[in-house]
Amino acid sequence: MTNTSPITGPNSGDKSRVVIFDTTLRDGEQSPGATMTHDEKLEIAGLLDEMGVDIIEAGFPIASEGDFRAVSEIAERSKNSVICGLARASFKDIDRCAEAVRKAAQPRIHTFIGTSALHRAIPNLTMDEMADKIHETVTHARNLVDNVQWSPMDATRTEWDYLCRVIEIAIKAGATTINIPDTVGYTAPMESADLIRRLIETVPGADEVVFATHCHNDLGMATANALAAVAGGARQIECTINGLGERAGNTALEEVVMALKTRNDIMPWHTGIDTTKIMHISRRVSTVSGFVVQPNKAIVGKNAFAHESGIHQDGMLKNRENFEIMRPEDVGLSGTSLPLGKHSGRAALRDKLEHLGYEVGDNQLKDVFVRFKELADRKKEVFDDDLIALMRTGVDAE
Ligand code: KIV
Ligand code: ZN
């Protein structure tokens, strides 16, 4: 059962291509309080499709009638992305999932079961009983669709021998992608790279499937762990917009995509994402989920491309590369922002005044700068209107 598509098989196409699997609508929506309406899910799926996401995990069809409807409609509307639904290791879940993704041009079923000792105790299955269940359920899913992803949940805390054994079973049963979830955000970058590398080297048939990485951010390492997994041989990254997800969230799509783009010199892999669409979808996901993006969040935070201190603003005005490793335009912003505050210097003040249409000589700038600093001490940020008022007061006083 050899795979040929770049989405399902690693042996054809571009080996440096990393597939982006977005789970904002499934794992992201599982964040307490992040529930989205039907129309909001359709809108976000449309934006993901447009930005070049390879696979959209659109929901968990057995979870509710609403989830089923959302996955079905997204499947019907999607133009380019593979549409995937999640299913537990049960025929009932898998059948419902297959029905939901049926109308997609490229449907995928993602089925999973917890394989660590802790997770095996939940359904109270022995290792052998679980191995049989994996064989039966993956075989069943593969009889329904050609594109089947299987995940050993809590893989990073699963015993090594057992993990190899169940992955081999899933591959033999027809799984085309093997996802390695770090369900509780427990792994570290060196371990993440090593785990994928050793699995690919050890498990028979591993070179016939795509290995995926699915990281949670409990220790703040989800992005680093995902990129390390790619270094180890994974070619699918599972992620969400703004890092939305259970507890501390999932790997953030915008972070892995921009990291691969910006540091391609040391991470020679690329994605198919149109990065100029990042800011817009980030803002829409924040609005519809009600999860505000922290101002200093990498890539999409309000301050990610803002410079307030005098030294930085002066440096930016001379050459953007002094303090910017990415171009704001590349993530869909109109440009860098140099907000004026008490740390700002004369160069940024003069630049801003010129943009507002004021020609200021050195003496006038000296005077305005003193009054600007007095104001900035009282206000967190000095806006254009404040500066206009400041200039007017100066004129009136003369
Ligand atoms: O974190 C996890 O283990 C999951 C699985 C369902 C893949 O989200
Ligand atoms: Zn998860």
Percent above pLDDT 90 for the chain: 91
- Check whether 63 has a pLDDT greater than 90: yes
Q: How far apart are CA 109 and CA 99, in angstroms?
A: 10
Atom of ligand 1 nearest to the CA of 151: 7
Would the CB of 222 count as within 6 Å of ligand 1?
Answer: no
pLDDT computed for residue 15 by the predictor: 87
Residue 4 has pLDDT above 70, yes or no: no
Q: What would the two tokens of residue 266 be?
A: 């040391």
Judge if ipTM > 0.95.
yes
pLDDT at 395: 55
Measured from the Cα of 184, ligand 1's closest atom is 1
- Residue 223 is which amino acid? T
Looking at residues 184-211, what average pLDDT do you find? 98
What does the pLDDT read at residue 83? Answer: 98
What are the pLDDT digits (tens) for 99-137?
A: 999 999 999 999 999 999 999 999 999 999 999 999 999
Q: Tokens 């380019």 appear where?
A: 80
In this structure, the residue with its CA closest to atom 2 of ligand 1 is 183
Distance in Å, CA 114 to ligand 1 centroid:
9
Cα(265) to ligand 1 centroid in Å equals: 31
Alpha-carbon distance 168 to 190, whole Å? Answer: 24
Q: pLDDT at position 204, please?
A: 98
**Phi-psi group of 245: left, alpha or beta (phi > 0 → left; psi -120 to 50 → alpha; rest → beta):** left
Q: What is the residue with the minimal CA distance to atom 5 of ligand 1?
A: 153
Identify the band that residue 171 occupies on the pLDDT scale cut at 50, 70 and 90: very high
Ligand 1 touching residue 153 (CB < 6 A): yes
> Does position 394 have pLDDT exceeding 70, yes or no?
no
- The mean per-residue pLDDT over the stretch 300-317 comes to 93
- Compute the CA torsion angle 344, 350, 356, 358 (nearest 10 deg): 150
pLDDT at 5: 47
Region of poorest pLDDT, from 19-28, 237-246, 357-366: 357-366
Tell whether the model's pLDDT for residue 198 goes beyond 80: yes
pLDDT at position 286, please?
97
CA torsion sign for 34, 241, 30, 294 is: negative
The annotation status of 250 as a binding-site residue, yes or no, is: yes
| DSSP code per residue over 321-365 | GGT-SS-GGGGT-SS-B--B-TT--HHHHHHHHHHTT----HHHH
Instruction: For residues 20 and 37, give the distance between their C-alpha atoms in angstroms, rounded to a whole number.
Output: 24
User: pLDDT averaged over the chain?
Assistant: 94
pTM score of the predicted model: 0.93
Closest ligand 1 atom to Cα of 155: 3
Tell me the Ramachandran region of residue 185: left when phi exceeds 0, alpha when psi lies from -120 to 50, beta otherwise. Answer: left
Pocket test for ligand 1, best of 151, 157, 184, 211 (most atoms within 8 A of CB): 151
Contacts for 39 with CB less than 8 Å, ≥ 6 apart? none
Instruction: Indicate whether residue 238 lines ligand 1 (CB < 6 A).
Output: no
Say how many Å lie between the CA of residue 252 and the centre of ligand 2: 12
Distance 270 CA to ligand 1 centre (A): 24
Section 325-347 average pLDDT: 94
Give the separation between CA 349 and CA 371, rounded to whole angstroms.
Answer: 12
pLDDT tier for residue 14 given thresholds of 50, 70 and 90: confident
- Alpha-helical runs (H) found in 220-269: 222-232, 253-262
Whether 75 has a pLDDT exceeding 60, the answer reads: yes
d(CA 37, CA 64): 13
* Half-sphere exposure (Cβ direction) of 307: Cα atoms closer than 13 Å: 20
- Residues across the chain: 398
Residue 393: pLDDT band by 50, 70, 90 thresholds? confident
Distance from C-alpha of 267 to C-alpha of 331, rounded to nearest angstrom: 19
Ligand 2 centre distance from Cα of residue 216 (Å)? 6
In this prediction, residues 33-55 reach a mean pLDDT of: 97
Phi/psi class of residue 177: alpha, beta or left (left: φ > 0; alpha: ψ in -120 to 50)?
Answer: beta
